[in-house]
Amino acid sequence: MPKLKVLSGQDVIRIFKEFGFFAVDQKDSHIKLRRIMANGVKQTITVPNHDEIDQGTLGAIYRQTLRYIPESELEKYFYTK
């Protein structure tokens, strides 16, 4: 069974930038990322900018992001083999 990797907020932001997301806002330590699809639909993700994201929070970010990015493309960034 694969396990979640240990990732920082900056690691997660770099991952999502590869999928076309960009930072649009920051409130305290949370950064809002967004990408705008060709049909004008906005997709938004909020990431805590911590040195190490808690495993439960990281899992929640992963699951929420599956609405926008297929699991087959996202899994290699978040889970060990």
User: Does a structural domain hold residue 2?
Assistant: no
User: Does a structural domain hold residue 62?
Assistant: yes
Average pLDDT over residues 8-12: 97
- Total domains, the chain: 1
User: Does a structural domain hold residue 51?
Assistant: yes
**50-76: per-residue pLDDT in tens?**
999 999 999 999 999 999 999 999 999
Look up residue 10 and give its two tokens: 């900056």
User: Does a structural domain hold residue 1?
Assistant: no
Whether this model's pTM surpasses 0.95: no
Instruction: Check: CB of residue 8 under 8 Å from CB of residue 55.
Output: no
Tell me which residue of 58, 51, 46, 69 sits closest to 5, measured CA to CA.
58
Output the pLDDT for position 81: 81
**CA 28 to CA 24: how far, in whole Å?**
14
Question: Domain residues for 41?
Answer: 9-74
**CA 38 to CA 9: how far, in whole Å?**
27
- The percent of residues above 70 in pLDDT, for the chain, comes to 99
Q: Considering the chain, what is the average pLDDT of its residues? A: 96
> Is residue 1's pLDDT more than 90?
no
> Is residue 6's pLDDT more than 90?
yes
